[in-house]
Amino acid sequence: MNLSHAIRRQARAAVFGLAMVLSAVVLRAQSAISVTDTTGWNYWTTGAGAVMIDPQSDQQTGQHTDDYVGDATHYGMQQKAGTIGGTDSVMWRFRFDDYAGADKFGGNGGNVGLGLDLDGNGSVDVMMVMSEGSGNVNNRTRTIYFGTPGTDTNTGPSSTSWTIDTNQTTKVSLVVNSTYDLVATNDGYNFAGTQDSWMTFAISFANIQAGIRAYAGASFSNFVYDYTAKISYIAFTSTQTNALNQDLFGASHDALVNGTAENTSTWADLGAITPPIDALGRVPEPATYAQLGALLLAGGWVAYRRRSRPRAVEQQG
């Protein structure tokens, strides 16, 4: 009776310790966030662990408002997650080379896209494009669409294509100051000598999960997007919702020029895709898993030792 009680007690202690570690991670992720946040962001890195940077003036059409910029100290791409109005959401923050006015992307509208590699094999599995309409800034629509990649490998600029149905039921309309924001940077640094801008948009876990399940293919029909979902990303700007033709974040101008060595390279070779990161934009820390493993191992070892001792006594008798 006493032995059984001791084993149960040790098991409960191990489970409790595991729960504490996990809850510490999850609770931290569930803090309230806002598209106007200026702190708490996690910058994107390459697979080698370096800050992902983007050259100035490498945008194909010469529009600075659509030109990603970023260096090792002035991060160009950032991510975080938490709750917006009590709803679990993920946000991305993009730095551009010019500022056309509050909530005014691309001067007269444009498209910002993310490609999601859901299984870590280097191939984009679903596209997510935020499309901003033109005209008076107060009357513009800003909508997130999802797209299905083409039949090629989708592992680099030359092998990637996708289609988008703008009538899809999974599209998400953004709201200024709630799920969309565009402001001038305030860190005192301007890449082209003119004011840079920050664009931020957010989407709920439920909505991004619905888009993935609907457009990433049958193998991802049960995909779960939560704080721990590991996804690799690319980012780009384009003149159309179904094209990658302005700027690929993390790569040079030639990455989008047909026939160049860069254009036929993979996202990884270009340094334009993140490693698998969680919703907060963090690469999973091996130490966290080591701590969990050590905790479970310690609990199991104690239980084993408790079980072994009585057997030794019985054998001696």
C-beta separation of 138 from 101 below 8 A = no
pLDDT above 50 for 29: no
Tell me: pLDDT of 227 over 60.
yes
Which class for 4: exposed (0-12), middle (13-18), buried (19 or more C-beta within 10 A)? exposed
pTM, two decimals, is: 0.82
Domain chopping of the chain, boundaries: 2-21+288-316, 32-284
Most confident of the ranges 47-61, 157-171, 251-265, 281-295:
157-171
Q: Is the pLDDT of residue 116 over 90?
A: yes
Better-scored residue on pLDDT, 126 or 3: 126
Report, as an integer, the average pLDDT of 130-145. 96
Residue 209 or residue 290, greater confidence: 209
Q: Name the burial class of residue 3, with classes exposed (0-12), middle (13-18) and buried (19+) by CB atoms within 10 angstroms of its CB.
A: exposed
Does residue 214 surpass a pLDDT of 50?
yes
Phi and psi (nearest 5°) for 51? -60, 130
CB–CB of 199/105 below 8 Å? yes
User: Which residues in the chain belong to E strands, given as ranges?
Assistant: 42-43, 77-84, 87-96, 110-117, 126-132, 142-149, 162-164, 172-173, 180-184, 197-204, 232-238, 247-248
At 190 the three-state DSSP class reads: coil
User: What is residue 6's predicted lDDT score, i.e. its pLDDT?
Assistant: 54
CB 27 within 8 A of CB 223: no
Highest mean pLDDT among 170-184, 255-269, 293-307: 170-184
The yes-or-no verdict on residue 142 having pLDDT over 70 is yes
pLDDT: is 289 or 116 the higher one? 116
pLDDT over threshold 90, residue 314: no
